[in-house]
Structure 1
Amino acid sequence: MHTTRARDLGIPFAGTPGRHNAITDVPGIEVGYTTLIHGEPGADSVARTGVTAILPRGRAGVGIPCAAGTYSLNGNGELTGRAWIDESGSFSTPIAITSSHAVGAVHRGVDEWVHAVNPAVSAQWMLPVVGETWDGYLNQINAGHVEPAHARTALDAASPGPIAEGSVGGGTGMNCYGFKGGTGTASRVIDHDGTAYTVGVLMQANFGSREEFTVAGRPLGPDSAAPAPIEDDGWFLRDGERARSVPGAGSVIVVVATDAPLLPGQCAALARRVPLGLARTGTTGSHFSGDIFLAFSTANSGSLTSRMADRTSYESLRFIPWGRVDALYTATVQAVEEAVVNALVAAEDMAGREDHVSYALPHDEVRAAFS
């Protein structure tokens, strides 16, 4: 798989990426998509949406907890399962990301998939982790395009290795900084006392205003020649909506994964570093943007159990000392920054419902800025 990525355009990102520069560089992680693109612009039924699925420990590892923590920069969005993650410091289900009005269908689909592949896990209770961002500019968001079967298909498609970016999966109909947005990923490798660990990021980028967009410290958004019709205040009114479009509105869901052994509180600390990476690309965090983040560790398999059948007297966790976690913070910030730009670089122009169009970030503008 080879598509143009941000580094191909000459952007000098810091840090050392993994083999695929993707969340799947973390051993065991698999990613799959269902991408729904049907109906010509102006047709009665127009879908520009989908589902992104992440298996933290692969298909065979469903039900095995991962230490985890969450953080919300701005809560105008949804990530199901957060209450249990914050309570227990762990989760053991797949992760899915989709359209705002498809959370219920995807949640149901994850339940059905887990019941099919590991009924022992579904026999007691499940709290799937499903995040969303709003794709109603290009997608007919109330048409019910996403069904439980699409979540099952994305989970079945999950695999390791290089993964697609841009207008794929849940990111299909998304916009970012007034450009066509979508799915982005990146990774960093760090050393801890001679052991290499990986931090991987996957995000659904649907946030930011054109005036904010910055790459490696250079403001590219304000002078871009690409139109930004999504930031035209008139289209909400023309479409019969009851509100006005606000530049910067949208959302971003970011998933941070690592194989470094961490406590749940340390995972939450990684999640709190996500906004620092986003801020490098310009966003100030709009009130109308749901910016919610999940970080987890795949180490310590077999710990943090919480099933009714558990009868273990004690469990233990091996973890990097708090005083040695700064390299993981740095890796998180660097990977988040690059994942945003990867999502934008991979995206292409897309037309959707009511003849709405979202234009991609021009590659030549980026090359010119860093030549």
Structure 2
Amino acid sequence: MSSAEVGGPTRTPRELGIVVGDLPTGRWNALTDVQGVRVGHTTLHDGTRVHTGVTAVVPDQLGRDAGRRPALPCGLCVGNGFGKLVGATQLAELGAIETPIVLTATLSAFRAADALVTHVLARPGYEAVRTLNPVVGETNDGFLSDVRARPVTEAHVLTALEAAASGPVEQGSVGAGTGTSALGFKGGIGTSSRVVEVAGVARTVGALVQSNFSGTLTVRGVPMPADELRPGVPEAAPVETDDGNSCMIVVATDAPLDARRLERVARRAVFAMGRVGAGYTHGSGDYALAFTTADPGAGLVEDAGLDPLFAATMDAVEEALLASVLTATTTVGHRGTRHAVPTGVLLDRLRSARPR
């Protein structure tokens, strides 16, 4: 049997007619709609043994000024801390990131952090640097991929960082989402964006997710249990296994916010997991990072003016989470199979639940 079975071309939620909320999206409906933010993937397959990879989120502002070490305001929300988010304590303490954000598999997070340090120290202006806080998130893809083999190398991380680009972002079973599982189905990478008016100025909020968590897939309030969408096709193992059960969320915005306000934004990103049926279980490492690319000299959005950004964040994260499973493909791994969502059955169920 092949390492991946593709049941026809994948489609995003919007291509399937599933629209989350009333707010408009950016041009690409992706994290990269926030100007100056790029995304890159490295995807690894080796028969049925290895399905894993790296996803890099690269804010351009971190590499612009070789004369100083730039940082961007960033907030962190830990929904449940059963995870290995490298760099979390300094990020929480100082409210800033000074490196790109890398996502990968659990036992590869530490090699990825070392590779990220290599990448940053090689930049002009960093010749005398003796301390650096790399930020690396992870989820455990050990059901479909041999996580103990730690197949991610420095070269894979550097490739994802160097390949990071603006424009459309590939979704589904790619990069850090290559071997993940979510909500009873194959999980993956998903992204979305929203444009809102804040204090009379159009602002963009983008989200990117790495989904690998349990629960019952819920689409626009309608439960989609895996055993009902795929009757007679038993799962080889529940989504939550001893491998863990997590979600990484990255939110970017061009709205001027400080770390405290960004932490509030990040909290809404974790809340949005509940909209798609997240189980929020004991073994789940649910993390959200929210950073801004705004001019440091711009006046901050007042707390009372955050509501549009909160709404944009929750809608963008919800759609990104749906995209992560709807664009994923059935994958045969070294311990079993994770099936793609049968979108035809899903749409029929959605129409039946909401007749027009």
TM-score in same-fold range (> 0.5):
yes
Q: Which amino acid aligns with 2:52?
A: T
1:82 and 2:62 matched? no
Q: Which amino acid aligns with 1:26?
A: V
Task: Return 5+ residue gaps in structure 1 as ranges.
Answer: 234-243, 302-315
In 2, Cα distance between equivalents of 1:203 and 1:362: 21
In 1, Cα distance between equivalents of 2:58 and 2:238: 38
In 1, Cα distance between equivalents of 2:191 and 2:211: 10
Q: Is the 8 A contact 1:200 1:258 kept in 2?
A: yes
1:273 and 2:268 matched? yes
Among 40, 51, 54, the residue aligned to 2:54: 51
Among 338, 341, 346, the residue aligned to 1:366: 346
1:283 and 2:278 matched? yes
Q: Which runs of structure 2 are paired with 1:132-171 in the superposition (5 Å)?
A: 132-171=138-177
Aligned residue number for residue 17 of structure 1: 25
1:71 and 2:52 matched? no
Q: CA deviation digits over 1:315-356, x for unaligned, max 9? A: x662111110000000111111101110111101111114x1
Q: Is the 8 A contact 2:24 2:195 kept in 1?
A: yes
Q: Which amino acid aligns with 2:13?
A: A
1:224 and 2:229 matched? yes
- Residues 141 and 264 (structure 1 numbering): CA distance in 2 closer, same or farther, change over 3 Å? same
Aligned residue number for residue 241 of structure 2: 245
In 1, Cα distance between equivalents of 2:78 and 2:234: 27
In 2, Cα distance between equivalents of 1:85 and 1:232: 33
In 2, Cα distance between equivalents of 1:122 and 1:90: 21
Q: Secondary structure at the match of 1:53?
A: strand
In 2, Cα distance between equivalents of 1:67 and 1:360: 37
Q: Is the 8 A contact 1:263 1:317 kept in 2?
A: no
Among 298, 315, 322, the residue aligned to 1:341: 322
Q: Is the 8 A contact 1:114 1:122 kept in 2?
A: no
Q: Secondary structure at the match of 2:193?
A: strand
Q: Secondary structure at the match of 2:329?
A: coil
1:298 and 2:293 matched? yes
Aligned residue number for residue 318 of structure 1: 299
Task: Return 5+ residue gaps in structure 2 as ranges.
Answer: 1-8, 352-356
Q: Secondary structure at the match of 1:16?
A: coil
Q: Which amino acid aligns with 1:32?
A: G
In 1, Cα distance between equivalents of 2:127 and 2:314: 34
1:332 and 2:339 matched? no
Q: Is the 8 A contact 1:35 1:172 kept in 2?
A: yes
Q: Report the Cα offset of residue 61 of structure 1.
A: 3.6
Q: Is the 8 A contact 1:179 1:228 kept in 2?
A: no
RMSD between aligned alpha carbons? Answer: 2.1
Q: Which amino acid aligns with 1:225?
A: R
Among 101, 105, 122, the residue aligned to 1:99: 105
- Residues 317 and 84 (structure 1 numbering): CA distance in 2 closer, same or farther, change over 3 Å? farther
In 2, Cα distance between equivalents of 1:295 and 1:360: 29
Q: Is the 8 A contact 2:52 2:175 kept in 1?
A: yes
Q: Secondary structure at the match of 1:208?
A: coil
Among 249, 254, 261, the residue aligned to 1:254: 249
Q: Secondary structure at the match of 1:73?
A: strand
In 1, Cα distance between equivalents of 2:304 and 2:127: 36
Q: Report the Cα offset of residue 232 of structure 1.
A: 4.6
1:29 and 2:37 matched? yes
Q: Which amino acid aligns with 1:224?
A: L
Q: Report the Cα offset of residue 121 of structure 1.
A: 7.0
Q: CA deviation digits over 1:286-336, x for unaligned, max 9? A: 1111101111111134xxxxxxxxxxxxxx662111110000000111111
In 2, Cα distance between equivalents of 1:113 and 1:58: 15
Q: How many residues align?
A: 337
In 1, Cα distance between equivalents of 2:261 and 2:234: 39
Q: Which runs of structure 2 are paired with 1:205-216 in the superposition (5 Å)?
A: 205-209=211-215, 212-216=216-220
- Residues 172 and 338 (structure 1 numbering): CA distance in 2 closer, same or farther, change over 3 Å? same
Q: Secondary structure at the match of 2:89?
A: helix
Q: Report the Cα offset of residue 149 of structure 1.
A: 1.3
Q: Is the 8 A contact 2:185 2:340 kept in 1?
A: yes
Q: Report the Cα offset of residue 87 of structure 1.
A: 1.2
Q: Is the 8 A contact 1:33 1:51 kept in 2?
A: yes
TM-score by length of 1: 0.86
Q: Report the Cα offset of residue 220 of structure 1.
A: 1.2
Q: CA deviation digits over 1:228-277, x for unaligned, max 9? A: 525359xxxxxxxxxx937x951000011100000110000001111221
In 1, Cα distance between equivalents of 2:305 and 2:316: 19
Q: Which amino acid aligns with 1:341?
A: L
In 1, Cα distance between equivalents of 2:316 and 2:119: 30
- Residues 232 and 199 (structure 1 numbering): CA distance in 2 closer, same or farther, change over 3 Å? closer
- Residues 123 and 47 (structure 1 numbering): CA distance in 2 closer, same or farther, change over 3 Å? same
Q: Which amino acid aligns with 1:245?
A: T
Q: Report the Cα offset of residue 191 of structure 1.
A: 0.7
Aligned residue number for residue 4 of structure 2: none
Q: Which amino acid aligns with 1:181?
A: G
In 2, Cα distance between equivalents of 1:339 and 1:139: 23
